[in-house]
Structure 1
């Protein structure tokens, strides 16, 4: 898509939606956070952490770029997996530009080809290849990866609108990526008020922060088995205006009774740690002191049960 020339009335304003896709753990959420300049998507080194479509909003004088963060597309093994893949495909059909994240430190594999083949079917939307995690490789490895990514598009019969190497962690080329995405957006006024960073409801963001903290110490045991539902967020009554307190009651759901001990830890130490860690993040997000009340509950095999999935928001 060529950039349209600005009218005599002044420079054109562009606004639109971009989404990052890629196999799980390709750096999509970290990149969203780096572009927005604040934590709006949860990150973890467990694949499959993102479940909700989080929109991060990048404000520029000449443009507003709304980032839609989707779950990683993968070969599904459960009903939850199938639903997450459906979310990805429906998102692709609605955005103005797609960024395909491919980590610089991993050779292209069947998972990347699977996604690229799906992308080849999305004819009208411009596709930008984003080679992530460049801080982890030397320049020779990076050059090989850029050539391999270029060839991947050509082999499947399409051309990348851009190929951009970035390191979200080191902050390298993140601004350049935004510069290259903006001209691919349609002309139009801002879609969100200045200052908004996401349109995700606060309750969902709070639940995601709790889930991120809960995932941290149980890397291999419970990667997908934790769901968090915030039951209540209410200001504590009777507090003076200059000393507010927000009461948050949340349930962590796991699939089997045997997982309860893993989450709670010896003498409740693990759950307490999850509470302390997520409370700091929630207070930073909401800008107010928080009392966090966490409970662990069993929802048997919730990833395979349509009724439970609905109840837990999927």
Structure 2
């Protein structure tokens, strides 16, 4: 898993425990879950003692339950961080042991005793400045500074539906002048090549981008899923058209998208309504004042200093 490489690579010890979540259907596999949780809790208690842990944080995966249970049994301050507007099951269960719950959205559903911290973003987004990056970004992608740029990315899951809808749309485009910056994913670059040749608007298709701050700096508007990436959308103050994915079982992306739409920072388009993209993009591309209003709303929602805020609270708890 990624964390098994990232943490040791940055000088932090990595310790893994085996645990899995409940399946949302009747299955014999669920019978093993309580035993796995109990075993994981015992291993974590031993590890916490050996390491002299003073404070702890979990971010809502399966290990959160035994992790919080172990920390609580040792009197170690335990914090939960929820990235979505609707808390996942693990965080809802583990909050019983939590000193505080950190949330990314106002009035996150399913959690009590909330502290609004926002969702941590990577360093380039903490002090993001579109004006400083704009020229470099447009040059990188070969885009025209005089034309509205629509950035498109579907995330690591569920990019297919968005890619296909956008590819079809640009082949038939008859709206105002726009250019498309389409991050399709390395696996999908060949699949959309045929559509790119038929595009009725200028279109730059890329498979992978390791400097997403430049992608946002080039984009006047983005089309995206509504997962954890919305933190980067708000941190950059980018107007967005959000297409909630149905991943998971609690409607997390739907809740995230709704929260930003109610704040005035986004327009929500359901996957079955992707045929309306052209009209929505055309309206936003032609309405500069509307986009400016969405920029202000997104920035007002952003918490780019989330990582520092959370780290300070952990350090305070560890020193008490």
- Which category describes the TM-score, using the shorter chain as reference length? under 0.3
TM-score (normalizing by structure 1) = 0.27
Name the structure where strand makes up a greater proportion of residues: 1
TM-score (normalizing by structure 2) = 0.26
Q: Which structure would you say has the larger RCO, counting Cα contacts within 8 Å and 6 or more residues apart?
A: 1
Name the structure where helix makes up a greater proportion of residues: 2
